[in-house]
Structure 1
Amino acid sequence: MVNEQGVGGRATVGLETVFKIGGVPTVTFVRPSRWGTLLTNLRTPGRGLVVEGPSGIGKTTAVKRALAELGREEDAQYLSARRPSDVELIELLPSTDNFGLVVVDDFHVLEDSLRGDLADLLKALADAEDATSKLVVIGINRAGDRLIEHAPDLVNRLDVLRFDVEPQQKISEMISLGEKALNVEINARDYVVESAHGSFYLAQLLCHEICSNANVFETVGQLERVTTPFSRVKQIVLERQEIRFDKVLTKFARGNKFRPGGRAPYVTVLKWLRESDAWTISLPEAMRLHPSARASVSVVLKNGYLENLVSDPDIAKILHFDSVTNVLSLEDPQVAFYIRNLDIVAWVRKIGFRNVDLDISYDVALSFAGEDRDFAVALKEQLEERGLIVFYDHNEQARILGEDLEQFFRPIYQAGAGYIVVLLGPTYGQKRWTRFESDAFKERFDQGRVIPVWSTLVPETIWDKSRTRGGCTFDPNDDTLKQASEIAELISHKIDEN
């Protein structure tokens, strides 16, 4: 709302117009850091443009304002990949001539085949320098990577404009414009700048709440100092976000199969997102930076569990996962603010996890002789189906290349796994590596951390100390899958009850 008469010669502007929490800012619009590059591309006929970056950073707003400055705002057609009716129009673009200026928002949620079609279209338009058709694509981080993956020779035919987290001076500039419009000074502005983490949207949201809490709803006549404590505003915002996001974040953290005593790989992923400056993470890069959590996250990644989980309609509203680039991104900047300010340890306990503080990488490590590998594989798969993280030697082939194998394996069997499951077949004690592994974990028998699984081909003797422990039996000549499933279920219950 703008009242031209104003107060004291100053135009009166409504709070909802100054610090906008929906729509494109006008009064408080600040040119982002990449403004010049954006204008240059939009003036170039046919040359494709990909605008990528974290949600809420101001990508769409910047494109709209740049087109307005160029006098082309009315020419542009905006299509969203989240609206089915718009997707139908997007599908027609590759077969449409002279379609004008089209901006495709939320490109990252399109089907992979359609993204490939748009990549081919961008290449054709650039080659033709077509002045009658121009395509602008907006998406989260790495959107340009997917296009180039579809059409590698696009590299020199389009511009990928990455909107990273804006510097603090840009956020401060935006707040100053709002203060001037409302004729106020916000005491907590420095806290807002810090807490926004480079997001114009979050800064708008926090300033809106600060002013609203101080009953400043439009331009005031005399300069007013707004002294609303930031702690109060932060708590109000977090309480609202808890209502919106806590249930769905709990669903994500617990995963497809909730195991209170398991490794909680999805909690680990949330922690990485919480620590990310850009609200998006490449999981392979994150695993390299956090080797202790690599095992648990790699299991849910390579088996497709993470992809299936994020496809849940509720979770898909706040998280996006690209299964080709293995990049996970937050879809809503308010979720980023919520998880950054969450007491993560208390929250993880509240939603039912018991083991997340343990400094171990695996729930179970398997020890077996090569002759029993078929049963070991079946048992590993059944344990993983129940949400457990399993150390299995063949999963580590790439990591062990060039390594000292004894130095690599010993810590895992000594302390790196919660339990050792040892398959005691006829040749177990005759093999070099089984002797090495059993020597590494032998002291864990007295801790109740070794679960023996005896082959029926091995007769029981009074000299076998493993028989003094509770264990299971498998018959190599019987139904492998059925036995593996039954034993995995018992082990799973043991871990949960401990």
Structure 2
Amino acid sequence: MQEEVYLESVFKISGIPTYTFVEPKEYNQLLVSVRTPGRGVVIEGPSGIGKTTCVLNIIKKLPNGAEYTVLSGRKASDKKRIDELITSENFGNVIIDDFHKLDSHVKETLSNVLKTHADEERDDSKIIIIGINKTGKSLIEYSSDLRNRISIVKFESNNKEKILELIKKGEKALNIEIAVKDEIANDSHGAFHIAQMLAHNACVQSGILEKKEEKQVTTPSYHSLKENVMNDLELSFSDLVTKFVQGQRVKKGSRAPYLHVLYWLSKTDEWSINLEASLIHYPKHRNSVGQILKKGHLYSHYCKDERFSDVIYFNEDTTEISIEDPKFLFYIRNLLWTKLAEKIGFYSFDFTSPYDFALSFSGSKRDDAEYIYNKLSESEISVFYDFNEQSRILSEDVEDYLAPIYRSESVYVIPLLSNDYPNRVWCKFEGDIFRSRFGKNSIIPLRYSDCSVGMFDATNGVGGFSLDVSKPIESQLDIFIGLLINKIHERRIELNNSEQGLEE
């Protein structure tokens, strides 16, 4: 009689695999580390690539039959037990998963315990820590001499051959053939968990729910399979993605900084990115994403909904953002981002200029310039304002640094035309640079009423805004800023419509 083998026990979408366990290339290194008495073990790497599965498989095969308590930094009840265990004299063998979710004081205590146990070579207690990338580094930061007292095993994404090995084990267990296994292996991006999910769905769509007496081949194409999986994941993640990318709220003219954070994460092969480093690679978003980082808006937004921490982890101190749920990674990797942006109300996704506006002003009008900068930045609009870029200007040739900004790297230039503007060296320099842009609808003059008529001949006939210096300035600036926001918003819509026209 044929053994009964069910789909859910072969291609498992949760829990520890039985039929489809594959030894990752780090297996032997981890085996030796786990067997070494007293020595703590840190296992780090992306979610879903088999870290926890591997260590549990090794423990099960240990000759001494050692028992381990498995705790998670994600669960409130387990956090309390971790606190109790690490302050006790003999706590036995412990696996602490989701280490990065623990409070800093607990991490520091664990660092000290690991150091003590290694020095004493104790064989009655052992700690195995499982976490995301750079978990070992975070522990060593609490105790610099810990490095040589623990084993750090870094798991990397599995190669295609390992993913295919998993799928073939499942095929053998169910007596089937998955017709699109190569496509699954390619699109899993090294994650065993995603491969399990896709293979599971291929079987369900083919009506394969248990082991077959006669070999059966799955029927759906990979396109059909992926569409079906995305429809399932949509129920779990669509609202969550929308809420994250909207930020505090959708702001007219915004450069969508929260959306780009998630978009960059979807494009990485490392399952995590450092946002400060990313700004070097994406300079056109240096101001918009940089602002939500520097002012703490991103971290505040991340903390407001606990569901965000179920799928991503954000470390405000290091600006590292990592994937927590591999299914979420699959979902955002296969999103149509331009369509999502437009649906939410962001009418541009790719930006040709680093700045929407560049301010040119004399020192006497710095307060007004700063007010304009702050208000536009609050709307997630990119503005060049010299004080905000002092660190980047240091050691640079200032003229070489500024010239491209006023010549072409800003969509619009806003000269604050006060009486002393033409008498200032830098105003004259900037004016000479952007003079060639008159007639190209890219200069928006802000004219002060006490400025002599005809002083700026080049701006005559150019639509701008006038400030009456005899009246409160701030309220007038608010009106001007509102017009600027509408201007850049309308431009984004026009560009979006023209791009769609070209596609059609």
Tell me the TM-score normalized by structure 2.
0.90
Q: Could you say if the C-alpha distance between residues 66 and 485 of structure 1 is closer, same or farther in structure 2, counting changes exceeding 3 Å?
A: farther
**Shift in Å at residue 319 of structure 1?**
1.6
Quote the offset at 1:287 in angstroms: 2.3
Indicate whether 1:62 and 2:80 are aligned.
no
CA-to-aligned-CA distance 1:24-82 (integer Å, 9 cap, x gap) = 00110011110111111111222222211111111111121111121577621111112
**Residue aligning to 1:223:** 215
Is the contact between residue 258 and residue 387 of structure 1 (CA under 8 Å) also seen in structure 2?
Answer: no
Distance in 2 between the 1:146 and 1:75 partners? 27
Residues 1:484 and 1:145: Cα distance change in structure 2 (over 3 Å): farther
Query: How many angstroms does 1:159 deviate by?
Result: 2.1
Query: Any residues of structure 2 matched to 1:93-492 within 5 Å, and which?
Result: 93-311=85-303, 312-455=305-448, 458-465=450-457, 466=459, 468=461, 469-473=463-467, 487-492=480-485
How far did 1:306 drift?
1.7
Name structure 1 gaps, 5 residues minimum. none
Letter in 2 for 1:473: L
Answer yes or no: is the 8 Å Cα contact 1:262–1:363 preserved in 2: no
Identical amino acids, percent of aligned pairs: 39
Q: 2 CA distance for matches of 1:23 and 1:79? A: 15
CA distance in 1, matches of 2:115, 2:448: 62
**What secondary structure does 2:414 align onto?**
strand
3-state DSSP of counterpart to 2:48: coil
Aligned residue pairs: how many? 488
- Secondary structure of the structure 2 residue equivalent to 1:450: coil
2:21 to 4, 29, 33: 29
Distance between the aligned counterparts of 1:381 and 1:64, measured in 2?
53
Structure 1 residue 453, shift from structure 2 partner: 3.2
Give the Cα separation in 1 of the matches to 2:141 and 2:135.
10
Q: Secondary structure at the match of 2:356?
A: strand
Deviation string 1:347-394 (CA, Å, 9 cap, x unpaired) is 322222112233011222222223333343333222222222222223
Using the TM superposition, give the Cα deviation of residue 151 of structure 1 relative to its aligned residue in structure 2, in angstroms: 2.3
Amino acid at match of 2:204: S
Contact 1:260 1:355 in 2 (8 A): no
In 2, distance between residues paired with 1:376 and 1:245? 41
Whole-angstrom distance in 1 between the partners of 2:476 and 2:108: 45
Q: In 2 relative to 1, CA 361–286 (structure 1 residues): closer, same or farther, beyond 3 Å? A: same
Query: Would you say the 8 A contact 1:365–1:421 is kept in 2?
Result: yes
CA–CA separation in structure 1 for the residues paired with 2:394 and 2:456: 35
Deviation at 1:423, TM superposition (A): 2.7
Tell me if the contact between 1:52 and 1:163 (Cα under 8 Å) persists in the aligned partners. yes
Shift of 1:420: 2.3
Q: Secondary structure at the match of 1:422?
A: strand
Q: CA deviation at 1:216?
A: 1.1
Q: Secondary structure at the match of 1:12?
A: coil
Q: In structure 2, do the counterparts of structure 1 residues 299 and 120 end up closer, same or farther at CA, with 3 Å as the change threshold?
A: same
- Deviates most, 447-456 or 416-425: 447-456
CA positional deviation for 1:18:
0.5
**1:20 paired residue number:** 12
Cα deviation, residue 225, structure 1: 2.4
Question: Deviations along 1:181-226, whole A, 9 cap, x unmatched?
Answer: 0111111110110011100001011111111111111111122222
Q: Secondary structure of the residue that 1:420 maps to in structure 2?
A: strand
Deviates more, 1:270-279 or 1:443-452: 443-452
Alignment partners' CA distance in 2, 1:72 and 1:277:
39
- Give a deviation string over 1:104-131, Cα, whole Å, max 9, x none: 1111122233323322332232233232
Structure 1 distance, partners of 2:420, 2:144, is 52
**Does the 8 A contact of 2:252 with 2:485 survive in 1?**
no
Q: Is the 8 A contact 1:317 1:331 kept in 2?
A: yes
Provide the secondary structure at the position in 2 that maps to 1:23.
coil
Kindly state the Cα deviation for residue 172 of structure 1 after the two structures are TM-superposed.
0.8
